[in-house]
Amino acid sequence: MRISGSTALYGIIGYPVEHSLSPAIHNAAINELSLDAVYVAFSVKPDGLAKAVDGLRVMGVRGFNVTMPFKAEVMVHLDALDDEAAAVKAVNTVVNDDGKLIGYNTDGVGALEALRRAVGEVSGLDIVVVGAGGAARALVSRLSGFQCDITVLSRDPGKAKLLVENFKGRANANIAYGDLSLQTQRKVIPRARLIINATPVGMTVPGCPIDPGLIHSGHVVFDMIYWPPETQLLREARLKGASTLNGLSMLVHQAAHSFNLWFKMAPPVEVMFRAAWEGLLKWGEAGRQPSQR
C-alpha cells in the first residue's frame, strides 16, 4: 500500500475500537485490488460523536463503519438513511456522497449471507432468534422477507414484541415473540431447525443464552459471537451433534457489503476471511479480546 496525496480515506468509529478487525479486513481487500485507499480506526469518545462525524464529512473521508456504542446515536448526524437502516434503527456503514452522509446497515445482509452459506435456503425453516437488540433487528429485517417461521426470544419480552411489531406488517414470514423462560424455551426450541444467538452471552457475559439440554442433533446453531471462536453455546451444540456456525462469517460478509457500497465493486471475500482469521489468531495468542468489529 502506497499512501499519497490522492489516497482515499475510509475508517471505523467506535469506542473502544483499537482492537477492531475491520482495518485488517478492509486493507487486505484494498491491497488485493491495488486500490488507492486506506482504512483506519478512529477512537471517538462517547461525547465526541457529533464533532467526529462533522470532521469526517468535511475532511472528505469517503466512507466509514460505525460500531459500539454509536450505531443508533449516529443516525441523527447523517443526511439520509437507506430504508433498511431506518427500519433496523441502527447504522453500521456510512457513505460520503460528495458531502452528503448516507447511513446503511449491512449486519442483516452479512448474517443472512453467512447463514445461507451454512444452511442453504432459509425459506421453510423454523427459526429462533435469542436477543432483541440491533443485530437481532438487522437479521430479522432480512429473514422476514422469506416464508419462514421466526420466534424472537428476549429476557425483556417487551423489546421482542416491539421488534416483531416493527417487521410484522411487511413480512412474508410468520413472526412471533416470547420471553426467555424455560417454559417458553421448551415450547419453541426443540421444534426449531435454526437457533441464533444475538446476545453477548458467551462473550462478555459468561454462560449459555438458552438451556443446552434442549439442543439436539437436528439443530443448526449460529452464534453471532466470533470471540471466543467456540462459545459455550456452540460447544454444547457440537457435543449434541448439531451443526454450528460462529460470527466470523457474518463479520466478513457485513464488511464485504460495506466495501461494495463504498467502492462499487465486489471485494475478494476469501482474502477478507483470511485477514479476519489471522487477526483473531493474533489476539488469541496475545490472550486479548478483539472489539465487536
**Catalytic positions:** 71
58, 59, 76, 205: residue in contact with ligand NAP (rule CB under 6 A): 205
Q: Which grid coordinates are listed for 131?
A: 436477543
Comparing CA positions, the residue from 158, 166, 157 lying closest to residue 138 is 166
Q: Of 23 and 131, which has the nearer Cβ to ligand NAP?
A: 131
Which amino acid is located at 193 in the chain? R
In what order do the strands lie in the sheet containing 174-178?
Answer: 174-178, 149-153, 126-130, 194-197, 220-223, 243-245
The C-alpha atoms of residue 224 and residue 133 are separated, in whole angstroms, by: 12
Residues 36-65 that bind ligand NAP (CB under 6 A): none
37, 112, 251, 280: residue in contact with ligand NAP (rule CB under 6 A): 251
14, 108, 157, 247: residue in contact with ligand NAP (rule CB under 6 A): 247
Q: Which of these segments, 7-15, 52-60, 130-138, 267-275, binds ligand NAP (CB under 6 A)?
A: 130-138
Residue 68: φ, ψ to 5°: -55, 140
The closest residue (CB) to ligand NAP is: 133
108 binding ligand NAP? (CB under 6 A): no
Q: Are 236 and 225 in contact (CB under 8 A)?
A: no
279 binding ligand NAP? (CB under 6 A): no
226 binding ligand NAP? (CB under 6 A): yes
156 binding ligand NAP? (CB under 6 A): yes
Q: Of 155 and 238, which has the nearer Cβ to ligand NAP?
A: 155
201 binding ligand NAP? (CB under 6 A): yes
Q: Which of these segments, 58-66, 77-85, 198-206, 264-272, binds ligand NAP (CB under 6 A)?
A: 198-206
157 binding ligand NAP? (CB under 6 A): no
Q: What is the DSSP code (8-state) at residue 15?
A: S
70 binding ligand NAP? (CB under 6 A): no
Give residue for cell 458467551: 202
* Alpha-carbon distance values, 192 to 52, 123, 125, 152, 182 (Å): 44, 13, 8, 12, 15
220-255-134 Cα angle (round to 5): 65
22 binding ligand NAP? (CB under 6 A): no
91 binding ligand NAP? (CB under 6 A): no
Q: Which of these segments, 49-57, 125-133, 170-178, 274-282, binds ligand NAP (CB under 6 A)?
A: 125-133
154 binding ligand NAP? (CB under 6 A): yes
* Alpha-carbon distance values, 129 to 15, 25, 133 (Å): 27, 27, 11
221 binding ligand NAP? (CB under 6 A): no
Beta bridge partners of 14: 43
Tell me whether residue 267 is exposed, middle or buried, using C-beta atoms within 10 angstroms of its C-beta: 0 to 12, 13 to 18, 19 or more.
buried
131 binding ligand NAP? (CB under 6 A): yes
Q: What is the DSSP code (8-state) at residue 6?
A: T
292 binding ligand NAP? (CB under 6 A): yes
Under the rule (CB under 6 A), what is the footprint of ligand NAP? Answer: 107, 131-136, 154-156, 159, 198-201, 203, 205, 209, 224-226, 247, 250-251, 254, 292
